[in-house]
Amino acid sequence: MLIDSSILIYSLNQSSPKQLVAQEFLESQDRIIFAHQNIFETLRILTHTKLPNPFSTKEAIESISAITQQSTVIFPNFETQALALELIKKYKIAGTEIFDAYLVATALSNGINKIATDNTKHLQKYTEIGVINPFKE
């Protein structure tokens, strides 16, 4: 199962009311898989000035690295771009949701058919991948 950025962000953000649930969910997984995209999305959010207590870049990289060193990180492959474009056409995706389609394509092209996220609204449309929200289970 692919772990989306939202769960990684909540697990690291001490000011998040979802931190404990996110940490427990990650600890309960036999195998933690992130896409490379999740790492950079997490870095962006944790260092953003709109966060109540933003991380320094160094703190964010160290925190993310501590988790990803114990995880599997997947990358786009030869199939990913074509699959992402198919999904974008099929679901008439535009704007920032293009990155959700790209994440789904990265997962599928790496043989992963389930994603854990708090962003179910944007991902449930993809019938090709199962979506679970650990904060609502």
CATH number at residue 101: 3.40.50.1010
Please report whether residue 103 resides in a domain: yes
Whether residue 91 is contained in a domain is answered as yes
pTM assigned to the model:
0.93
54 pLDDT higher than 90: yes
What is the distance of C-alpha 71 from the center of its chain?
A: 13
Neighbours of 116 (CB within 10 A): 24
Percent over 90 (pLDDT), the chain: 97
Tokens of 46: 């944790």
Res 16 pLDDT > 90 = yes
- On whether residue 110 sits in a domain, the answer given is yes
Residue 137 included in any domain = no
In a domain, 18, yes or no: yes
Residue 86 banded pLDDT, cuts 50, 70, 90: very high
CA distance 26 to 36: 17
Cα–Cα distance, 36 to 90 (Å, whole number): 24
Say how far residue 23 (Cα) sits from the centre of its chain: 14
The domain total for the chain is 1
**Residue 94 within a domain:** yes
- Look up the domain containing 96 and give its range: 2-132
